[in-house]
Structure 1
C-alpha cells in the first residue's frame, strides 16, 4: 500500500478504518508534503448521476466550512477500483482518539467533562446552524468526535477537573448515506441509537443535532450501550442508571433528548444558555 499513489498525488500509507462500502486511509500529499485523510465511498459503475451529483454538491458545501474544530475538507475526486468505483474525500488530518475509543478503554467521563464536551460541540453547531444556509451535521455520535487526553488539572468551584485538549467533529451525515447495493447495515444501524425520531423518518432539522449530542453525552456518563438503557416509549430513562449527575444537568439532558420535537430545545443558543446557567 505504501507505494500506491492515487490521483497522481496521494501516497497511501495506512488503512485506518474499513466497513462495508467504505474505507478510511492515511495518505501523504506529495504536493503539500503533509498527511491527509482519504475517505473512500465505493459505488457501482452505473450509479445514478443524481446520486453522484449529490455527493459532489455536499462536498462543495463542506469545502466552504471554516472552524478550528472541523478538520478542513480539502478536495474530492472519483477513481476506478474495478469492479467498482470510489468517491474519495480528502480531509485535513486531526489528532486525537474518538470518544468511542476512549470509552472502549473503560474511561469514566464525569459530569464536568461531559459539560466541557457539550459546550465544545454546541460551539461548533452554533457555527454550522448559523451559516446563511444552515448545515445540519446529521451524524453526531462518540465515534465522530475526536479528542486527545485530559492532562492539566484545573481547580473550579465545582471541584477539580482536567482540562480537555482540542476537540474535533468529523464525518458529516450528508456523505454517509449508502451508495452501494449492499451498503445498508453497519453505518446506518450504528447511528440509529443517536438519531431522533424525525430524522429516522427522513426529516432532519437543526434540533436533530441537539438530540444526537444529548444521546452521545448519555453514552459517556452511563457507559452503557444506548440500546440497553431502560426506556419509556421513545424516551431513554438514563437517570435510572446514573444517579451521580446534578439535577440541573439531568433535566438539561432530558430536554436535549426529548423525542417529541416541540418539547426539545429549539436551537443551539437556548441549549447553550441553559447549560451555562446551571450551577
Structure 2
C-alpha cells in the first residue's frame, strides 16, 4: 500500500510551499532504511484549472505513539527500550549520511509502532524540507571542505541560517534559535521516550534552567534507560550524546562485570548485601561494629617514605588474606548466633545517615545520577595541627640549613637537607589542601566527572566512563605528629584521584559509602 501526499497549485500561498515540497521529495529519494517508508515517485498532474504535485511513499505499518498512548496504551519499560533502540538506529543512519540529515521534528506523532511485530518507523520529513536542512548542510559542508576539514556541520557544530522548525516540548532548546546539531534530534528522541514512560507531554513537567526535572516524578526501574533519557534531555547540546551511535552503544552495551566475590560482587565490596550474607546465605542483620577503618592504624614512617604515594590502612585487603594481610573483621549477628564476616572497611558501601553539621552536599536524581559537593573545610583542628607541624618542621629545617651553611658546611651539607625539605613541603601542601580544597563529583550510568578546586581556581578535572570506575576507598595520605591524614581515593583505572582532604572520619565514611552504594546499584 502507498500514501500520496498532494499539493495543489491553487491552494499554495506562495511559491515557497512548492520549493519546500520538492525539497522533501528530494530528501526522501536519497534515504534508504527499513524504518523510513520507501520513496516511490514524485510527479505532477495538470488539469484545466490547476496543477497538483504528488509525492508517493509506501505506508508505514502501525499507529503513531501519540495515538497509541491516547487510546490507553501503557508500554512496559522493555517496550520503551525497544522503541529507543530502533529510533536511535534510524537517527544514527541519518547522521551517518554526508551531508548529515536532521529530521528536526521527532515526536510521538511522527513515530509509528506496529505492536504485533514491535517494528518502529520514522515518518514525516516535512520539517527537514521545511527548513531546507539538506541544502543548508550541503552549503556549510562545501565551505568546510573548502577549508580542508570538518564533517559538514561547520566549526561550531551547528547549521547556521536555518529557520526554527519543530514541535514545542519536543524540539531541542537550540532549535528555538534556529540552530541544529546532530544532537538536536537526540533531544527530541529523549522527549519522545519520556512521553512513553510517563504518558505526559514533557512540556507539562517541572523545569529548571531549560532542563526537564523528570526524576522523582517518573519512576523508571531500568537504570540505563533512565540515564539515557536524562542525558538525551540535557539542555546544552555538548552535554548530550554527540551521536546516535554513541547513545545506542550506551543503551545496548552489556553491563561491565565487577567481579563475583560476595553479594555485592567485584573486588571493592565484601560481606554481602542488606538482605543476603556472603555467598547468598541466610539474612544478616546490620549490627556492624562502630569501629572505623582508621581505628587500627599503626603507620611506619619509613614505609610512607618508601611508598611515594601514600599508603592504605595496613592489614586491610580486598580479599581475605590478600597481600599477606589477615584483614580486619566486623561482627554481625543472625538468628543462629553470631559470626564473623570479613569486610574491607577501607571501602565502605553501606549508606549511613548524613552527619549532623556537615557541609558536604549529596544529591541523587532518580536512580542514575549522583552529585557530591565538598566545600572548603576552612581551618579545623586537624588542619590547624597539620599547619602548625608544617611550620615547625620547615622552620627547623630552615634554621638547620642556615646554620650548616654559616658553619662552612657548603653545598654538600645543604644538599643533605633536601629530603627533609621535600617532606616539609608535602606536609605544607596537605595543610593547604585541608583548608582550601573543594571537590565536585558527578556520576551517572555512563560517565563521571571529578573536579578539584583550591581558592576558587580549578586545579584538576578527571572525567571518564563509569565502567572504568571501581569505587572510592579511604587512604592514609600522610601523617602529622603520628596522626594519619585520611582522604578519599576515586579508583579510576590506573590513575586514581584523591580528594576530600580535611573531612572528619564520619564524613569520609559517609561520602565513600554514598559513591560505592551508587556504583553498586548501577551494576545490578
Gaps in structure 1 of 5+ consecutive residues = 1-34, 151-163, 178-187
C-alpha contact 1:76 1:88 (8 A) present in aligned 2: yes
C-alpha contact 1:97 1:147 (8 A) present in aligned 2: yes
Moved over 4 A (4+): 41-51, 78-87
TM-score, length basis structure 1? 0.70
Q: Which secondary structure does the structure 2 equivalent of 1:238 belong to? A: coil
C-alpha contact 1:222 1:238 (8 A) present in aligned 2: no
Q: Equivalents in 2 of 1:102, 1:141: separation in Å?
A: 13
Q: Offset at 1:132? A: 2.3
C-alpha contact 2:77 2:197 (8 A) present in aligned 1: yes
C-alpha contact 1:141 1:194 (8 A) present in aligned 2: yes
Greater RCO between the two (CA within 8 Å, min separation 6)? 1
Q: Aligned-pair RMSD on alpha carbons?
A: 2.9
1:167 maps to 120
C-alpha contact 1:73 1:90 (8 A) present in aligned 2: yes
Greater C-alpha Rg: 2
1:17-166 maps to which residues of 2 (within 5 A)?
35-41=1-7, 48-49=14-15, 52-78=18-44, 87-150=53-116, 164-166=117-119
CA deviation vs aligned residue, 1:170-201 (integer Å, no higher than 9, x gap): 00122456xxxxxxxxxx99811110011121
Q: Offset at 1:144? A: 1.0
Q: Offset at 1:124? A: 0.8
Judged with a 3 Å threshold, the aligned counterparts in structure 2 of structure 1 residues 54 and 121 are, in CA distance, closer, same or farther, namely: same
Q: Equivalents in 1 of 2:191, 2:254: separation in Å?
A: 19
Judged with a 3 Å threshold, the aligned counterparts in structure 2 of structure 1 residues 95 and 259 are, in CA distance, closer, same or farther, namely: same
C-alpha contact 1:45 1:85 (8 A) present in aligned 2: no
Q: Offset at 1:92? A: 0.6
CA deviation vs aligned residue, 1:132-158 (integer Å, no higher than 9, x gap): 2211111111111111125xxxxxxxx
Which is richer in strand? 1
Q: Equivalents in 2 of 1:218, 1:81: separation in Å?
A: 47
C-alpha contact 1:45 1:84 (8 A) present in aligned 2: no
Q: Equivalents in 2 of 1:236, 1:82: separation in Å?
A: 54
Q: Which secondary structure does the structure 2 equivalent of 1:117 belong to? A: helix
Q: Offset at 1:78? A: 4.5
Q: Equivalents in 2 of 1:226, 1:42: separation in Å?
A: 36
Q: Equivalents in 2 of 1:198, 1:118: separation in Å?
A: 22
Q: Which secondary structure does the structure 1 equivalent of 2:4 belong to? A: strand
Q: Offset at 1:46? A: 7.0
Judged with a 3 Å threshold, the aligned counterparts in structure 2 of structure 1 residues 111 and 82 are, in CA distance, closer, same or farther, namely: farther
Larger mean CA deviation between 260-269 and 41-50 belongs to 41-50
1:198 maps to 174
Gaps in structure 2 of 5+ consecutive residues = 132-163, 256-524
Judged with a 3 Å threshold, the aligned counterparts in structure 2 of structure 1 residues 42 and 221 are, in CA distance, closer, same or farther, namely: farther
| Equivalent pairs, count | 223
C-alpha contact 1:249 1:278 (8 A) present in aligned 2: no
Judged with a 3 Å threshold, the aligned counterparts in structure 2 of structure 1 residues 215 and 66 are, in CA distance, closer, same or farther, namely: same
